[in-house]
């Protein structure tokens, strides 16, 4: 299963539209990790190819009917998805790892920091795709593609990308293979 993971679009769907225009038909799931979840609907209105989409509420999203955390399934692998602001305590990733273990999840996707990051810690994939509109750190607008084979068929494969070029002619650059 191929999953497009984005976060922190903050009311500007142009980056999401650009990414979906190139990748929307090749992914089986879109996960938006908050702070701009209405941008998923906006991208659909622009006519972007839309895979099944799952969103979580970020700290600046105002639709309280949107869940703050979700359990997602990629084949038989459980993934937790949250914006992350409630879990980030200093520079420790332990709250994410503890939550994933408690729920029997193999991965925890989160946003909030606007900085791309991924690592496997204590057997749990931790993934932050950065921000498609307000990047921080050394990278431009970013997102992630996660290949999730069935359990026993190999580990998650994560690729992080920067969005470069114009919205009408988007290109992607790998930022961490």
CB atoms inside a 10 Å sphere around CB 132: 28
Domain span including residue 12: 2-176
Dist CA 161 CA 33 (whole Å):
16
pLDDT tens for each residue of 10-20: 999 999 999 99
> Which pLDDT belongs to residue 176?
67
Q: How many domains does the chain have?
A: 1
CATH number at residue 129: 3.60.21.10
Give the mean model confidence (pLDDT) for residues 127-152: 93
pTM of structure: 0.95
Find the radius of gyration of the CA atoms of the chain: 15
Q: Supply the pLDDT for residue 166.
A: 72
Residues 18 and 50 sit within 8 Å (Cβ to Cβ): no
Q: How confident is the model at residue 167 (pLDDT cuts 50, 70, 90)?
A: confident
Give start and end residues of each alpha helix (H) in 10-143.
14-23, 38-45, 94-103
Return the pLDDT at 14. Answer: 94
d(CA 108, CA 74): 12
Q: What is the pLDDT of residues 63-121, one digit of tens each?
A: 999 999 999 999 999 999 999 988 887 778 999 999 999 999 999 999 999 999 999 99
What SS3 state is found at 56? Answer: coil
Q: Which residue has the tokens 């509420």?
A: 57
pLDDT of residue 59: 95
Q: Please, how many CA atoms are within 13 Å of residue 105, restricted to the half-sphere of its CB?
A: 25
């Amino acid at each position: 299963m191929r999953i497009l993971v984005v976060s922190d679009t903050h009311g500007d769907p142009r980056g999401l539209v650009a990414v979906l225009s190139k990748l929307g038909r090749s992914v089986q799931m879109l996960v938006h990790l908050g702070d701009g979840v209405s941008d998923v609907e906006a991208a659909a209105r622009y006519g972007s190819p839309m895979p099944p989409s799952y969103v979580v509420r970020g700290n600046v999203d105002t639709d309280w009917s949107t869940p703050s955390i979700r359990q997602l399934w990629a084949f038989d692998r459980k993934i937790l998805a949250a914006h992350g602001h409630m879990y980030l305590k200093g520079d420790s990733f332990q709250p994410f790892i503890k939550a994933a273990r408690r729920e029997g999840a193999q991965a925890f996707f989160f946003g909030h920091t606007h900085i791309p990051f991924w690592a496997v810690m204590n057997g749990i994939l931790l993934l932050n795709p950065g921000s498609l509109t307000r990047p921080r750190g050394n990278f431009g607008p970013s997102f992630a593609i996660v290949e999730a084979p069935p359990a026993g068929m190999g580990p998650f494969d994560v690729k992080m990308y920067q969005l470069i070029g114009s919205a009408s002619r988007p290109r992607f650059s790998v930022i961490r293979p």
